Structure 1
Amino acid sequence: MIRRERKPRLVIAFHTTADALHLEQAAKVAGFPGRLIPVPREITAGCGLAWRDEPENEKSLRDLLAQTGIEAQGLHILTL
């Protein structure tokens, strides 16, 4: 079994699944390497999906959220 190295990740939680899907679409168009994941146990969210990306992309993702009007429930740095 190959285990992925655990390291700090930016996790963006959402109130709704629609917000998560909208960010997925906008982030892919903008070239972000992240992806949707199930919400980790360490946080709570209104929906079961979260966006996971590299911590160094936090400012750019905050800018993308503001530009698109997508509301995040929270941004967290977690070791995943």
Structure 2
Amino acid sequence: MLLMAFDSTQQAIRAEMLLDYAEIENDICPTPKEVTAGCALSLQFPREDYERVKEIVAEEKIEIRGIYFKKDNEYVTMEA
């Protein structure tokens, strides 16, 4: 699973709605303390949907802090 972090709750909820509409599995979750973000909510989604999620973020102008994956108990940025 990948993690998308946000600077605002509004953007997190908007992204959740858009991913649901695109039928992309996603779960809203607390932002891990290891990830610096302005919002306490993040979205998890399957790695195989990464390219489609990037397209939706760009097309819909969703403001994100970044997309992360977990490696050795640490979150690494995939995309900002």
Gaps of 5+ in 2: 74-80
Off by >3 Å, runs of 4+ in structure 1: none
Superposed CA offset, 1:40-71 (max 9, x none): 12211110000101111111101000111101
Gaps of 5+ in 1: 1-8
TM-score (ref. length: structure 2): 0.83
Shift of 1:31: 0.1
1:11 aligns with 2:6: no
Structure of greater Rg: 1
TM-score (ref. length: structure 1): 0.83
> Over the residues paired in the alignment, what is the CA RMSD in angstroms?
1.4
Quote the sequence identity (%).
28
How many residue pairs get aligned? The number is 72
Summarize the alignment of residues 42-61 of structure 1 with structure 2, pairs less than 5 Å apart.
42-61=34-53
Does 1 or 2 have the higher relative contact order (CA < 8 Å, sep 6+)?
1
